[in-house]
Structure 1
Amino acid sequence: MDIFRLDQGTAPLLISLPHDGSQIPEDIAARMHPAARRSPDTDWHVTRLYAPLAQAMGASLLRPLASRYVVDLNRPADGHALYPGRRETGLVSTIGFDGEPLYREGEPDESEVQRRVNDYWRPYHAALQQELARLRQMHGRVVLWEGHSIRSRVPMLFEGRLPDLNLGTADGASCLPSLQQRLEEVLRAQDRFDFAVNGRFKGGYITRQYGRPNEGVDAVQLEMTQHNYMDEESFAWDEDKAAVLRAAIERLLRACLG
Structure 2
Amino acid sequence: MDIFSLKQGSAPLLISLPHNGSYIPDGLAQRLRAPARHSPDTDWHVGQLYEPLAEALGASLLKPTASRYVIDLNRPADGQALYPGRRETGLVSTIGFDGEPLYVDGQEPDAEEIRQRVEQWWQPYHQALAGEIVRLKALHGRVVLWEGHSIRSHVPMLFEGRLPDFNLGTADGTSCGADLQWRLTNVMEAQSRYDFVVNGRFKGGYITRHYGSPADGVQAVQLELAQHRYMDEESFAWDADKARPVQDTILQLLRQCLT
Bucket of the pairwise TM-score, normalised by the shorter protein: over 0.9
Greater CA drift, 148-157 or 101-110: 101-110
Compute the displacement of 1:111 (Å): 0.2
1:123-162 residue pairs with structure 2 within 5 A?
Answer: 123-162=124-163
CA distance in 2, matches of 1:217, 1:6: 19
Please give the secondary structure, in 2, of the residue aligned with 1:147.
strand
Aligned to 2:171: 170
What is residue 206 of structure 2 aligned with on the other side? Answer: 205
Matched residue type, 1:39: S
Pairwise mapping of residues 45-84 of structure 1 onto structure 2 (< 5 A)?
45-84=45-84
SS at match of 2:108: coil
Residue matched to 1:252: 253
Amino acid corresponding to residue 13 of structure 2 in structure 1? L
Cα separation, 1, equivalents of 2:226 and 2:19: 14
Determine if the alignment matches structure 1 residue 220 to structure 2 residue 216: no
Partner of 1:28 in structure 2? Answer: 28
Q: Secondary structure at the match of 2:225?
A: strand
Pairwise CA distance, 1:198: 0.3
- Structure-2 residue corresponding to 1:100: 100
Offset of residue 203 of structure 1? 0.2
**Count of residues in Structure 1 that have an aligned counterpart in Structure 2:** 258
Q: Structure 1 CA distance, aligned partners of 2:16 and 2:26? A: 26
Q: Which residue of 2 aligns with 1:39?
A: 39
Question: What residue is the counterpart of 2:86 in the other structure?
Answer: 86
Separation of aligned partners in 1, 2:37 and 2:238: 20
Counterpart AA for 2:16:
S
Q: CA RMSD in A?
A: 0.5
User: Shift of residue 116 of structure 1?
Assistant: 0.3
Match for residue 122 of structure 2?
Answer: 121
TM-superposed CA distance for 1:61, in Å, is 0.1
1:35 Cα deviation after fit: 0.6
Cα offset for 1:121? 0.2
1:253 deviates by 0.3
The SS at the match of 2:167 is strand
CA distance in 2, matches of 1:246, 1:11: 19
The residue type paired with residue 18 of structure 1 is P
Identity of matched residues, %: 71
* Distance in 1, Cα, partners of 2:87 & 2:151: 16
Q: Which amino acid aligns with 1:111?
A: E
Q: How far 1:255 sits from its partner (Å)?
A: 0.7
Shift of 1:12: 0.2
Q: Which runs of 5+ in 2 are unaligned?
A: none
Tell me the SS of whatever aligns to 1:10: coil
> Structure 1, residues 70-129: CA drift from partner, whole Å, max 9, x if none?
000000000000000000000000000000000014100000000000000000000000
Q: Secondary structure at the match of 2:219?
A: strand
Task: Out of 201-210 and 103-112, give the one that drifted further.
Answer: 103-112
CA distance in 1, matches of 2:160, 2:186: 27
Give every structure 1 segment of 4 or more consecutive aligned residues whose post-TM-superposition deviation is greater than 2 Å.
none
The SS at the match of 2:102 is coil
TM-score by length of 1: 0.99
Match of 1:242 in 2: 243
Give the 3-state SS of the residue equivalent to 1:82 in structure 2: coil
C-alpha deviation, 1:134, in angstroms: 0.2
Alpha-carbon displacement from aligned partner over 1:11-61 (angstroms, at most 9, x marks no partner) = 000000000000000111010011100000000000000000000110000
Offset of residue 153 of structure 1:
0.2
Give the TM-score normalised by structure 2: 0.99
Match of 2:31, SS? Answer: coil
Aligned-residue offset at 1:164: 0.1
Equivalent position amino acid for 1:40 in 2: P
SS in 2 for 1:121: helix
